[in-house]
Amino acid sequence: MVGIVDYNAGNIKSVERALESLKVQYVLSKNPGDFTGCDRLIFPGVGDAKYAMEQLQITGLGSFLRDWAQSRKPLFGICLGSQIIFDYSEEGDTKCLGLVKGTIRHFENVWEKPELKVPHMGWNNVRFTNGGSELFHSVKDNSDFYFVHSYLIQPDDKTVIKGVCDYGTEVPSTIQSGNIYACQFHPEKSAGAGLQILKNYCTAQILQNGEIKC
């Protein structure tokens, strides 16, 4: 069973529709206790990092997600959810969940490309790196995915980056650190390739170390 974490900052409806189209059973909740029967979680998100972390603290979902990750169960962050799994975000000077070592930086603090608009919005092709990820099973290298973001994932350990795109600089787009998976793009809005990623995550075998195997 798949759990979708609702913390008042998620792109919930699009994720629900995507899973329903895949005929994946799921539980949507703001209550950590409702995820007892789940073996993997989806952690979506749009909006502001500071507000999101406040909501996670109010609901108790922050400590729940830390415990979940530590117990070696699969966790999949999407967009904002892919960012606040790291230690710190420049957005609102925000301390985040600290599940993966690294920081989230605004485009303007990483590159100087005044001719390019921020946010990075629209379709962009993602190329696999560092061996790719099980998330990409049956997905072609350089497939297009839909992005909307102004902040960049900057992991301390660059080997956790499994997919990148180019937007004035190399943009980390897919992350895997053990049992923790994340996409900066929106797979639920990325047509067939995005649905395949969600299908891979939701239906794959879960190994003892919490990683998935398609």
Choice among 79, 96, 165, 183 that is catalytic: 79
Structure tokens at 150: 């102004």
What residues make up the domain containing 111?
A: 2-213
Q: Identify the CATH number of the domain in which residue 31 sits.
A: 3.40.50.880
Q: Which residues pair with 120 in a beta bridge?
A: 149
Q: Is 186 a catalytic residue?
A: yes
Distance, in Å, from the CA atom of 27 to the CA atom of 75, rounded to the nearest integer, reads 14
Q: Is 188 a catalytic residue?
A: yes
Please state whether the predicted TM-score (pTM) of the whole model is above 0.75.
yes
Q: Is 170 a catalytic residue?
A: no
Distance, in Å, from the CA atom of 26 to the CA atom of 190, rounded to the nearest integer, reads 20
One digit per residue, pLDDT tens: the chain, 214 residues?
A: 999 999 987 779 999 999 999 999 999 999 999 999 999 999 999 889 999 999 999 999 999 999 999 999 999 999 999 999 999 999 999 999 999 999 999 998 887 666 789 999 999 999 999 999 999 999 999 999 999 999 999 999 999 999 999 998 999 999 999 999 999 999 999 999 999 999 999 999 999 999 999 9
Choice among 91, 120, 134, 186 that is catalytic: 186
Question: Could you tell me where the DSSP H helices lie in the chain?
Answer: 12-21, 49-59, 61-70, 80-83, 191-203
Choice among 91, 134, 188, 211 that is catalytic: 188
Backbone phi and psi for residue 130, each to the nearest 5 degrees, phi listed first:
50, 40
State the total domains in the chain: 1
